[in-house]
Amino acid sequence: MKRVTTLLFGMLAGIGAALAAVNLNTASVAELDAVKGIGPGKAKAIVQYREKNGPFKSVDDLSQVKGFGKKSVDKLRAELTVGPAKK
Protein backbone atom coordinates (compact mmCIF):
# COMPACT_ATOMS: atom_id res chain seq x y z
CA MET A 1 0.00 0.00 0.00
CA LYS A 2 2.86 2.34 0.82
CA ARG A 3 4.34 1.76 -2.66
CA VAL A 4 1.04 2.60 -4.33
CA THR A 5 0.68 5.78 -2.32
CA THR A 6 4.22 6.84 -3.15
CA LEU A 7 3.68 6.08 -6.83
CA LEU A 8 0.44 8.07 -6.97
CA PHE A 9 2.02 11.02 -5.18
CA GLY A 10 4.92 10.98 -7.62
CA MET A 11 2.60 10.88 -10.61
CA LEU A 12 0.52 13.78 -9.32
CA ALA A 13 3.62 15.85 -8.64
CA GLY A 14 4.83 15.17 -12.17
CA ILE A 15 1.51 16.23 -13.66
CA GLY A 16 1.60 19.49 -11.72
CA ALA A 17 5.11 20.24 -12.92
CA ALA A 18 4.15 19.43 -16.51
CA LEU A 19 1.18 21.78 -16.39
CA ALA A 20 3.18 24.74 -15.11
CA ALA A 21 3.96 27.09 -17.97
CA VAL A 22 7.33 28.83 -18.11
CA ASN A 23 7.15 32.63 -18.10
CA LEU A 24 9.22 34.04 -20.97
CA ASN A 25 9.70 37.29 -19.04
CA THR A 26 11.15 35.82 -15.87
CA ALA A 27 12.64 32.42 -16.72
CA SER A 28 16.36 31.84 -16.44
CA VAL A 29 18.41 30.15 -19.15
CA ALA A 30 18.25 26.91 -17.12
CA GLU A 31 14.45 27.09 -16.77
CA LEU A 32 14.00 27.73 -20.49
CA ASP A 33 16.46 24.97 -21.36
CA ALA A 34 14.28 22.53 -19.40
CA VAL A 35 11.38 23.10 -21.81
CA LYS A 36 11.22 20.39 -24.46
CA GLY A 37 12.12 21.99 -27.78
CA ILE A 38 14.34 24.71 -26.30
CA GLY A 39 18.01 23.87 -25.95
CA PRO A 40 20.72 25.87 -24.18
CA GLY A 41 21.50 28.02 -27.23
CA LYS A 42 17.89 29.00 -27.83
CA ALA A 43 17.35 29.57 -24.11
CA LYS A 44 20.29 31.98 -24.06
CA ALA A 45 18.95 33.73 -27.18
CA ILE A 46 15.56 34.24 -25.48
CA VAL A 47 17.16 35.83 -22.41
CA GLN A 48 19.42 38.03 -24.55
CA TYR A 49 16.47 39.15 -26.66
CA ARG A 50 14.48 39.97 -23.52
CA GLU A 51 17.39 41.97 -22.04
CA LYS A 52 17.85 43.95 -25.26
CA ASN A 53 14.19 44.49 -26.26
CA GLY A 54 12.29 44.36 -23.00
CA PRO A 55 9.59 41.94 -21.89
CA PHE A 56 7.61 39.78 -24.27
CA LYS A 57 4.05 40.99 -24.80
CA SER A 58 2.82 37.62 -26.06
CA VAL A 59 4.17 34.14 -26.74
CA ASP A 60 3.97 35.05 -30.45
CA ASP A 61 6.80 37.55 -29.89
CA LEU A 62 9.08 34.53 -29.52
CA SER A 63 9.12 34.34 -33.33
CA GLN A 64 11.27 37.51 -33.24
CA VAL A 65 14.06 35.53 -31.55
CA LYS A 66 16.58 33.94 -33.90
CA GLY A 67 15.90 30.21 -34.23
CA PHE A 68 12.14 30.38 -33.64
CA GLY A 69 9.64 30.32 -36.46
CA LYS A 70 5.86 30.20 -36.40
CA LYS A 71 5.81 26.38 -36.33
CA SER A 72 8.19 26.12 -33.39
CA VAL A 73 6.29 28.82 -31.47
CA ASP A 74 3.03 26.95 -32.07
CA LYS A 75 4.58 23.72 -30.72
CA LEU A 76 5.86 25.50 -27.59
CA ARG A 77 2.78 27.65 -26.94
CA ALA A 78 1.23 25.29 -24.36
CA GLU A 79 4.42 25.24 -22.29
CA LEU A 80 5.09 28.97 -22.27
CA THR A 81 3.39 32.02 -20.87
CA VAL A 82 4.00 35.74 -20.70
CA GLY A 83 3.53 37.38 -17.34
CA PRO A 84 4.89 40.40 -15.56
CA ALA A 85 8.61 40.95 -15.90
CA LYS A 86 10.96 40.98 -12.92
CA LYS A 87 11.68 44.43 -11.59
| Domains detected in the chain | 21-81 (1.10.150.280)
Helix (H) or strand (E) run with residue 45 in it: helix 40-53
Q: Give residue 72's pLDDT.
A: 95
Contacts of 40 (CB under 8 A, 6+ apart): 29, 33
**One digit per residue, pLDDT tens: the chain, 87 residues?**
667 555 555 555 444 445 579 999 999 999 999 999 999 999 999 999 999 999 999 999 999 999 999 999 999 999 999 988 766
